[in-house]
Amino acid sequence: MIRAVVETNGLGKSYGRVHAVRNLNLTVAPGRITAFLGLNGAGKSTTIRMLLGMIRPTEGYGTVLGKRIDDLRASLDLRRHVAYVSEDKRLYGYMTVEQLIRFTSSFYPDWRPDVVKMLLNQYGLPPDRKVRSLSKGMRTKLALLLALARRPELLILDEPSEGLDPVGIEDLLQSLVTQCAEGTAVFFSSHQIAEVERVADQVCILHQGRLVMDASLDDLRFSYRQIDMVFPSLPAELQSQLQVEGVESIRTSGHQMSVLASRNADAIMERARDLNAGSIEAAPVGLREIFLQKVKEN
Amino acid sequence: MFFKLKSSTGQPLYLQLMQQIQHAIENGALQDGDQLPGIRTLAEELLVSPNTVAKAYSELEHAGVLDLRHGSGAFISVSRRVRLLAERVRVADKRVGNLIEDLREDGLLDEEIRRLFEAHLIHQSETVRKS
């Protein structure tokens, strides 16, 4: 197995008695697009800021590109190989777009002027405007341009689609695809399920500071099923009789029973047949349903 | 070529892409020697991870219907074997169509026919797995 670009072990951050992130074992593979999904306040930004060495973990440890995140000197070196688009996109407001680009380029030997030119055009950013006077969407695009102008090993984005209109989101997703095709590992947080579902290879779900799911979208599409069944009668022991491996949750209503399965759908349907289910239907489950289920149960 | 990938179905995106390319070969929309877009280009167009396209292409290469030439792209290569298979699929398509017509004449509803087909296919894949 190729070395992970991000790896954490029991990573956690508490503020007093509040646990923002707890016992996090996160692995991000190289060459892939990994989405970091969670509700607002789930701990996504805290995790990302720990990975970047901006805040110190209170428990556990982690590495990014093989370097310890709590090692200050390593973390300075890391910033040359990791590009980051922050949630608030804080930029120097008094500069013009062009000045900020020139200023930022001086820090990075791997700067690509041709990419800057192309993205300025694609994003429709006005070079002479002061950053301060840009709309939120424009600022996001500028922050994105500054990150993409480099050829980082790892690109981390915190809620990059916030404040973008649908066209802006398309541009963003396309840029992520391009970066990945050039060999950059992409790790981005989001609470927008639709954009994640399409573009990501892997999805990690964070809820209340804990990792509640880490799965490839291929596996998810392949094996997650909702199985609806009708039974002639629903005795109390039926639920426990249906507890086959892979059953995530069971809901009942009248004679109907609905099972969410993460795998083994065939075996579960077989069991239901043995238990005299009258009608059995299995349907694929979207990421939205899985996400809501994970967030509600935990 | 136009591809339509659906996010919320029970099939991985790479499989959908594979099947659509295979289907295009069977119905003649894609022919021997035709070039497909590069991995990056197609991924950008479909807004999917480049890994999705790469996996579809490499599986198709494995199946012998795509020729991946490093640096110059992906080319459809329809061998005799594949042409024969395409022919068999066309014949099978007709037979299945006739069978369904017969069953409808016997008074079965489409939903019932579908369930019968699925039940047989599931049963078969289970016996294959066990053996």
Residue A99 has pLDDT above 90, yes or no: yes
8 Å CB contact between A229 and A257: yes
Residue A195 has pLDDT above 60, yes or no: yes
pLDDT: which is higher, A50 or A298: A50
Q: Output DSSP code: residue A143.
A: H
pLDDT mean across residues, chain A: 90
Percent of chain A with pLDDT strictly greater than 70: 98
Q: Which of A176, A199, A224, A289 to mutate to test the interface with B (most CBs of B within 10 A)?
A: A199
Distance from CA of B5 to the nearest CA of A (A): 9
Residue A194 has pLDDT above 70, yes or no: yes
Residue A5 has pLDDT above 90, yes or no: yes
Q: Is residue B57 packed enough to be buried (19+ CB in 10 Å), middle (13-18) or exposed (0-12)?
A: buried
Query: Residue A175: closest CA among chain B residues belongs to which residue?
Result: B44
CA angle B103, B108, B114 (to 5 degrees): 85
Q: What is the mean pLDDT of residues A64-87?
A: 86
- Is there a contact between A199 and B11 if contact means CB atoms under 8 Å apart? no
Residue A32 has pLDDT above 50, yes or no: yes
Q: How confident is the model at residue A49 (pLDDT cuts 50, 70, 90)?
A: very high
Q: How confident is the model at residue A178 (pLDDT cuts 50, 70, 90)?
A: very high
Q: What domains appear along chain A, each with residue ranges and CATH number?
A: 6-219 (3.40.50.300), 224-297 (3.30.70.250)
Query: Residue A225: closest CA among chain B residues belongs to which residue?
Result: B10
Measured between beta carbons, the chain A residues lying within 8 angstroms of B48 are 177, 198-199
| A237-280 pLDDT tens trace | 888 888 888 998 888 888 899 999 998 999 999 999 888 888 89
Q: What is the mean pLDDT of residues B62-77?
A: 86
Among A88-97, A288-297, B106-115, name the one with the lowest average pLDDT: A88-97
Measured between beta carbons, the chain B residues lying within 8 angstroms of A269 are 122
Q: How confident is the model at residue B130 (pLDDT cuts 50, 70, 90)?
A: very low
Q: What is the mean pLDDT of residues A199-218?
A: 94
pLDDT: which is higher, B8 or B113: B113
Q: Is residue A154 packed enough to be buried (19+ CB in 10 Å), middle (13-18) or exposed (0-12)?
A: buried
8 Å CB contact between A261 and A267: no
Q: What is the mean pLDDT of residues A37-44?
A: 92
Q: What is the mean pLDDT of residues A204-208?
A: 95
| A133-164 pLDDT tens trace | 988 888 888 998 999 999 899 999 999 988 88
Most confidently modeled range among A78-82, B11-15, B79-83 = B11-15
CA angle B116, B120, B126 (to 5 degrees): 145
**CA A208 from centre of chain:** 15
d(CA A184, CA A83): 10
- What pLDDT score does B127 carry? 54
Measured between beta carbons, the chain B residues lying within 8 angstroms of A288 are 8
- What pLDDT score does A298 carry? 63
Distance from CA of A55 to the nearest CA of B (A): 31
Q: What is the mean pLDDT of residues A201-227?
A: 93
Residue A13 has pLDDT above 90, yes or no: yes
Q: How confident is the model at residue B103 (pLDDT cuts 50, 70, 90)?
A: very high
- Is there a contact between A181 and B122 if contact means CB atoms under 8 Å apart? no
- What pLDDT score does A162 carry? 84
- What pLDDT score does B131 carry? 42
**CA B114 from centre of chain:** 19
- Is there a contact between A177 and B47 if contact means CB atoms under 8 Å apart? yes
- What pLDDT score does A128 carry? 93
Neighbours of A82 (CB within 10 A): 26
Residue B46 has pLDDT above 70, yes or no: yes
Residue B79 has pLDDT above 70, yes or no: yes
Q: CB of A228 within 8 Å of any CB in chain B?
A: no
Q: What is the mean pLDDT of residues A87-110?
A: 86
- Is there a contact between A177 and B51 if contact means CB atoms under 8 Å apart? no
Sign of the dihedral through C-alpha B30, B35, B39, B42: negative
pLDDT: which is higher, B131 or A280: A280
d(CA A180, CA A191): 21
Residue A100 has pLDDT above 90, yes or no: yes
User: What was the ipTM of the complex prediction?
Assistant: 0.85
- What pLDDT score does A236 carry? 77
Half-sphere exposure of A231 (CA within 13 A, CB side): 23
Q: Output DSSP code: residue B9.
A: S
pLDDT mean across residues, chain B: 86
Record the tokens describing residue B42, joined without a space: 């197609």
Cite the beta strand spans of A217-294 per DSSP E.
225-230, 247-253, 256-261, 279-284
Q: What is the mean pLDDT of residues A29-55?
A: 94
